[in-house]
A and B are shown apart, each in its own frame.
Chain A
Amino acid sequence: MTSDVRERTLAKRLFSANTLWIALVLLVLIAVFGAIRPDAVLTTFTLQTTLVETSVLLVLSVGMTYVIITSGIDLSVGSVLVFSGVTSAMTMNAMNDGNATDAGWGTVLVGLVVALVSGAAWGLLNGLLVAKTGIPPLIVTLGSFGAALGAGQLISNGSNVSGVPDVLSDNLGTGTWFGIPNLVLLAAVVTGIGALVLATTRFGRYTYAIGSNEEAARRVGIAVTGHLVKVYLLAGTLAGLAGFMALAYFRVASITGHDTDNLNAIAGVVLGGTSLFGGAGSIVGTVLGVFIPAVLRKGFVIVGVNVYWQPIAVAIVLVAAVWFDQSRRRARNQR
């Protein structure tokens, strides 16, 4: 009997059709831009800056991937990022008589903890509401999207918070390690752990199972409620970390600058082949999906394409990816 049951090779499993397709899109984009302006596109400078500029969004998108795989959605991540940045920056300032610019590592550490806890608190709230009350995640996180931003404005009195410690921005924000920006390293570590947990552990397996068929997961004894809370908690905590990273990068907790972060993260995740219907997706795909809009933006500026074309091109790629995913599923379900 065993001979009938073949296993696919590792390479095949790593690159399911969808991921491979999206990787090809990314490579083609880089190749096209590279062919037009090899001197400007295929440089360490462009690589470095593109990676740094995508790090914060990537961390948000890792959490978003988990949420979307459970067939949920988290619209609140951008606001939670703002809230965490504000609480973190204000705590650091308060510890240093209102201006933390010259503060030391102790302050930075407290700031990190505050950012993570702030993010986790919103994630926990989202998770409890989604898992225990049965309110659709869209509505729950639409609520916290408004509430977290409002709370951030309330605490900061509506204006951007500055006074970020120099040790934080100089090391995490612009520092490098053997030529690799530290911000990129941090994002890469988070993404790597996120990818491993999703692909190899029971936590990841349950995330897929719940998104694929919540009732089936419940019937086999998976603690669905608790797992959903954990997934939203993860997304919130990562948004908190992203808020801290944004602090280091921009040297300011910006209130109005993250209005579309949630949509950018969702777009990246969906572009990467994670299904909005849940049950399928991967962090590898998300990484590719996040970089496609980033590369498009950068490439268009470098080759000097009319600025109005850029959002149109991003939209076309996004819609095409979702359409592809849906037709693939339709084909499968017809069997």
Chain B
Amino acid sequence: MAEPLLDARDLVKHYGSVEALRGASFTAYAGEVVSLIGDNGAGKSTLVKCLSGAEQPDSGTISFDGRTISLPTPTAARALGIETVYQDLAVAPDLDPAANLFLGRELRKPGVLGWLGVLDKKEMRRLATSSFGDLGVTLQSVDVPIGSLSGGQRQSVAVARSVVWASKLVFMDEPTAALGVVQRERVLDVIKRVRDQGMAVVLISHNMPEVLAVSDRVEVLRLGRRVARFRAADTTVEELVGAMTGALSQEDA
């Protein structure tokens, strides 16, 4: 593969006296699914927060598309085409799926009404319906509160929202954790579809078979540091677990 799309080097992040990241590095390429794995407390969530603008690292460099960048806010990350699906569903349960899809990016009516802030709900619903269709998300209705949908459907909406707006890279923190078998397959399909459109997908998961099934590469985090990198096709669950627990490590990681 050519130049990495995202290349983070030696990130350090303290929370008070706790060192969540101790020189962590991470690489993602366009058009691949890369899984980020590690035991609980390895620093996966902190790393994703630093890379999606939710937190700022204390030191280290992040380069994106060949340029060194800083991500002071999630908005800055989104402006670069980076979207995130958070582990704790960041959806508004009282709003409908279309409203959630467009949350913070509402379309306004043309002309004076739009200038007054009036939303073009019809158009948003139409676009949402077609986006959900494209991504294979089935919903009974686009205008009931998504709190009344099943956990899987809610998660699908959250995933769809990130995917629809991302142009370069999507972080997915445990996107299948709450899902049943069928919904899980749907989300994995969506991940592959997004990869095939040329975007990078970073998947955080505890489910090793799932990681191996969907990923192109796997990077392992242990105690706030990257300890191993694998090509998914060349590795096994045992090897991944070994790297996560410290039984196995790579010099050049």
Contacts and interface: CB of A to CB of B under 8 A. Distances in A.
A and B, direct touch (CB closer than 8 Å): yes
Interface of A: 1-2, 4-8, 13, 197, 200-203, 205, 208-209, 211-213, 215-217, 219-222, 278-280, 332-333, 335
Contacts of B139: 4-5
B40 interface: no
A280 B104 contact: no
Given A2-B129, A221-B75, A13 B143 contact: yes
B78 interface: yes
16 contacts: A1-B134, A2-B130, A8-B141, A8-B143, A201-B119, A202-B106, A202-B119, A208-B95, A209-B99, A213-B93, A215-B90, A219-B74, A219-B86, A220-B74, A220-B103, A220-B105
A217 B92 CA distance: 8
A221 B143 contact: no
Given A202-B106, A217-B92, A5 B74 contact: no
Contacts of B105: 220
B17 interface: no
Given A209-B99, A217-B104, 19 more contacts: A1-B132, A2-B133, A4-B133, A4-B138, A5-B140, A5-B142, A201-B116, A201-B119, A203-B117, A205-B99, A208-B92, A212-B93, A213-B93, A216-B90, A216-B91, A216-B92, A333-B147, A335-B148, A335-B151
B214 interface: no
Contacts of B147: 332-333
Interface string B224-236: 0000000000000
A4 B140 contact: yes
B59 interface: no
Given A1-B132, A202-B106, A213 B117 contact: no
Interface residues of B, number: 45
B176 to A, nearest CB: 18
B148 A5 contact: no
Contact of B132 (A5, A8, A217): A5
A151 B151 CA distance: 51
Given A4-B139, A208-B95, A202 B108 contact: yes
Contacts of A222: 103-104
Contacts of B136: 1
A222 B93 CA distance: 16
A4 B136 CA distance: 11
Interface of B: 54, 73-75, 78, 84, 86, 89-95, 99, 103-106, 108, 116-119, 121, 125, 129-130, 132-134, 136, 138-145, 147-151
Nearest to B120: A200
A213 B74 contact: no
Nearest to A279: B94
Contacts of A1: 129-130, 132-134, 136, 138
Contacts of A213: 90-93
Given A1-B133, A2-B129, A200-B119, A209 B90 contact: no
Q: Which of A5, A7, A13, A221 has the most CB of B within 10 A?
A: A5
Nearest to A214: B92
Contacts of A221: 73-75, 78, 104
A220 B77 CA distance: 11
A220 B140 CA distance: 25
Q: Which of A197, A205, A215 has the most CB of B within 10 A?
A: A205
Q: Which of B78, B94, B121, B141 has the most CB of A within 10 A?
A: B94
